[in-house]
Amino acid sequence: MVRNKRVGAKASVLAAAAALLLSACGGAGVDAEASAAPSGDAALAECGSYAIAMHAWVGYTASAQVITEVAKANGCDISQVTLAEAGVTYDAMESGSVDLVVEDWGGGRWQEWADRGALVEVGDNGNVGIIGMYVPQWMADEYPDITDSANLNKYADLFVNDESKGKGAWYEGPPGYTTIGEKMVSANKLNFTVLPQGSEAALIDIFTKAAENKTAAIGYWWTPQNFLAKVPMARVNFPANDWTDPAEASGLTDYPELPLMKLATPKVMEANDAFTKIVKNFKWTNDDQNQVAADIESGTDPAVAAQKWIDANKATVDGWLK
Amino acid sequence: MSVRTEPAIKIAPKSIRRSWILGGLLIIWVAVAQILQGKATLELAVPDNSKFTAWAGEVADSIRDNRNDGLAFKYFFNPIREFIDGFVNIIREFIAIPNGSSSIPVLGWLGVISLIGFVVFAVSNVRMAFAAMALTFACGALGLWTDSMDTLAMTFAAVILSLAIGIPVGIWAGLSDRVLKVVTPILDLAQILPTLVYLAPLALVFLIGPASATIATMVYSIPIAVRLTAFGIRGVPTSPVEAGTSMGTTKRQLLRKVQLPMSSRTIIMGINQTVMAALSFVVIAALIGAPGLGKPVIDALIIRNVGDGFVAGIAVVLIAIMLDRSTSAAITKKETFVPPSEADRKRRKLALIIAGITAIVGIVLSRQMVWAAFFPKQIDISSQVANVSDFAVTWVTENLELLTAGLSKAVTVGVLNPLESILANSPWYLTITMITLISLILGGVRSAIVSATLLIAVVATGLWYDTMITFTQTIVATMLTMIVGVIVGVWIGRSVRAERALRPILDAGQTLPAFVYLIPMLGFFGPSRFTAIATGIVYSIPIVVKIVGQGIREVPVNMVEAATSTGSTKWQLITKVQLPAAKKSLLLATNQGLIFVLAVVVIGGFVGGGGLGYLVLLGSSKPELQGKGLVAGFCILLLGVMIDRIAQYMVARNSAPKH
């Protein structure tokens, strides 16, 4: 103990000496060289500073990055904050910590926050979420009538595995998405067990292996998602859709097409600066998003991938700024 | 030894009778479960709420609506947030983010490494100092200097705050039985309740950013500091304490001169484990906007880039190893302290001065020279590390498929499905009756009452079926954890070399973020309940190994020598002497193994585990099911408490005086 105390005393003397030295030289050397770089331009004053919530899927990254680059080019000060989706993000918007969600699939789960004035539903971002149940392409080739939901029971035996309790395994979508698998199975009297999948990664694993090993699988999938371009799959058709609120869905019909929404704080909507315009007018197609997403997935830096698309689509981008 | 075996023979008939009854019960259970398969399972469809979960959702909503209570925020939450944010940011400005108007932190990379080298040298030795410097340098070489420093700063802040609360409470709980009784359920609650359940409320109150992340980390890491400190104090042999008391020392002197020094090894282990716990939170922290290595992990996960994920994960592990080794080296040095000669002391003093001057030179350089301020971009091994990780994962997925698929199938068909069919897929009243009877036989009346009460509470929540699905997986995961953990723990407890070799792997298991190996695990086993179990045991095995190893090492040398001299074989030595003598450690290991398994039940929800873990995930992303997620979190807690209490009563009963 005695020795330790001595070491402690010495360390604190040293620390004090170091602190003195530090305050004396003040990091001037490094700053002098670093400040040689240009530091922002005057246009910054016109547009405010905003934080964009970043969610964990690549399509989202693509949209958010394009908005970030366009806004920065117009003098806005943009930061990106990685955040869990839904509640955490809406609360953060309410407290003013983040200002924008560029792609929400929630179909109105933000309503309670919108009613309180915490956020504003700005409208759709041009992307349309198309959700459905898919089988690997080889199954559609081998059993052409499998893509009709009425024939699913005929093939249920193909889908049985150790997880599925003797019935066909029906792989359900991730928790953040609109899912009505259990209703679909019971309403259509399908001989399947719904297996909840907690992540996009789990579904990708299932479909990739099903394509590679020619194993059977039926699962939830959606676009825009650039995975379909790599691993072809066939959609199983259920009767045309007749619902918008998942709570009221009968389960007999397919998923509806879902416009993906932009959500912003009142601060953004009232600022009336370049960012307000970009947020209000930002709109692009599923193809656009998939292009940028594909670049990001193949390892391109998101900022570079976004800039590449912006350079190639000047007219569209200019339209957002009007 | 003869004294030991005698009572064992005496109680044999009773325990044989007990196992006959138990066997009979199991046969009846399986038979009745077969007949009533699928009846009264209380299965609740995923999108549906039970009455209770709907009510919980409404309560959560009303708390949310009423939170605009300005006073609580002004005088309570905001000051706490500002204090923690301030504390974290001071450390960050020191090593991670630009300080004030400057373009660099107070210390550039060379300065940080110099300072770490000096501090580690001052508390331990030269070798350790160079190792710590090399590990820190490696984080920079992985291309993640700033993120690593952010994580180091956040960890440092969380650990200091956790220890400031955890060690005093731990000492108190070590000295007083009543305090221990009061805090234990709170510790269980804090350690088992899934972070995702309280993450959103925390972010609601303390806003997103470092403060919420630090508090979330502390909720999880304080219990570890408390438990291990209390355990250490209680483990001090009674004779020195009695000797102290008889010599008239005060309680305070007793604590400072006897109990604390004698339990310092365990307390240091508590500090290590607190560090590990804090580091296991980097990704969760990133989900609420905190800085650090969690962000590159998530970025890699987004594009399913296994290699990049590992690069960021390895940086977390390197920091863990650096902090862990430095603290351990400090304590070993203290223990092996032989009064140094005058010459030794002079030499040491000189070395310290030289080291100090070198450190100051490094620090000054890091503020004057660009090359010493910003980590050189030329030194970057990240793509090589990413390629190696990618290659290894692909190789295992492609070449060991028979093995991985076989293992998964064996456990699923051989253990999981049968267990699930009797626990979850038979009527709830049958399951409750049987579990109550079994705990009556194993642990006595009180244990039976606890089990029955907790299980009926689960039924009342409406999440019975999902709880039983999770119960099944928890039992299997804990069993696998204990089997592997005890074997490896005994091995490292007996061999210093094995301990050295395995320690980095154990540290990696505890701190490599699960999100890094989620995708490889899916690749190995596919989305399934087994994959959920596999991800869980990666995290829980290391703590069991460490505690068991420590316990074996602490078995008094004379006991081992006595057994060896009477000609015991190695096997006899382990099973008859070392394991029984390390019984307390085995108990703590079982408790922690179980708690760690339950702590990652939610991670299992990501990879096809279903059950309560999935409901917690669902509740955190679907506002209409938030009550269900909340209640699912509490059901995980009820499960943990039930299993733990049955185990405790069982042990208490079997170790009661056998005269």
**Residue B170's pLDDT band (cuts 50, 70, 90):** very high
Say if strands A257-264 and A192-195 run parallel, antiparallel, or are unpaired. unpaired
What is the rounded distance in angstroms from the CA atom of residue B351 to the CA atom of residue B355? 6
**How many H-runs (helices) and E-runs (strands) does chain A carry?**
15, 9
What is the rounded distance in angstroms from the CA atom of residue B552 to the CA atom of residue B575? 11
Whether A30 sits inside 8 A of B102 (CB atoms) is yes
The CB-based long-range contact list for B184-187 (8 Å cut-off, 24+ gap) reads: B185/B641, B186/B223, B187/B223, B187/B226, B187/B227
Say if strands A120-136 and A257-264 run parallel, antiparallel, or are unpaired. antiparallel
Q: How many CB atoms lie within 10 A of CB B126?
A: 12
**Residue B651's pLDDT band (cuts 50, 70, 90):** confident
Average pLDDT over residues B364-376: 87
Distances (CA, A) of B173 to A233, B158, B169, B267: 60, 22, 6, 13
CATH fold of A129-257, please? Answer: D-Maltodextrin-Binding Protein; domain 2 (3.40.190)
**Residue A32's pLDDT band (cuts 50, 70, 90):** low
| Same fold for the pair A43-119+265-320 and A129-257 | yes
Q: Which residues of B touch A179 (CB under 8 A)?
A: 46-47
pLDDT value, residue B10: 46
pLDDT, tens digit, for every residue of B236-270?
A: 888 888 888 888 888 888 888 888 888 887 888 88
Residue B201 pLDDT exceeds 50 = yes
CATH superfamily of A43-119+265-320: Periplasmic binding protein-like II (3.40.190.10)
Q: Which two tokens stand for residue A305?
A: 């991938």
pLDDT value, residue B529: 94
pLDDT value, residue A44: 39
Whether B122 sits inside 8 A of A10 (CB atoms) is yes
The beta strands (E) that lie in chain A are given as 49-54, 77-82, 100-104, 120-136, 168-171, 192-195, 218-223, 233-236, 257-264
pLDDT, tens digit, for every residue of B388-416?
A: 999 999 898 888 888 888 999 999 999 99
Mutant choice from B118, B206, B622 vs A, greatest count of A C-beta within 10 A: B622
| ipTM exceeds 0.85, yes or no | no
Q: Which residues of B touch A195 (CB under 8 A)?
A: 527, 608, 610
Residues within 8 A of A (CB atoms), B 300-359 only: 301-305, 334, 337, 352, 356, 359
Whether A35 sits inside 8 A of B103 (CB atoms) is yes
B517, B606 in Cβ contact below 8 A?
no
Compute the Cα dihedral for B67, B71, B77, B82 and give only its sign: positive
CA distance B300 to chain A (A): 9
The residue to which tokens 């030499």 are assigned: B347
pLDDT value, residue B14: 66
The amino acid at residue B432 is I
Residues within 8 A of A (CB atoms), B 477-536 only: 518-519, 522-523, 526-529
Segments making up each domain of chain A, as ranges? 43-119+265-320, 129-257
Query: In B235-305, which residue ranges form alpha helices assigned H by DSSP?
Result: 238-246, 251-253, 260-262, 264-279, 282-287, 294-302
Query: In B142-209, which residue ranges form alpha helices assigned H by DSSP?
Result: 145-175, 177-192, 195-206
pLDDT value, residue B6: 42
Instruction: Decide which of B622 and B411 is more confident.
Output: B411
- How many alpha carbons fall within 13 Å on the CB side of residue B225? 25
Pick from B106, B352, B622: which is nearest to A109 by CB?
B622
Q: Which two tokens stand for residue B5?
A: 């075996």
pLDDT, tens digit, for every residue of A179-194?
A: 889 999 999 999 999 9
- Interface A-B, measured as beta-carbon pairs within 8 A, has a size of 205
All structural domains of chain B: 8-66+403-659 (1.10.3720.10), 156-316 (1.10.3720.10)
Asked if the C-beta of B383 comes within 8 angstroms of chain A's C-beta atoms, the answer is no
Pick from B104, B356, B522: which is nearest to A14 by CB?
B356
Q: Which residues of B touch A203 (CB under 8 A)?
A: 527
Asked if the C-beta of B417 comes within 8 angstroms of chain A's C-beta atoms, the answer is yes
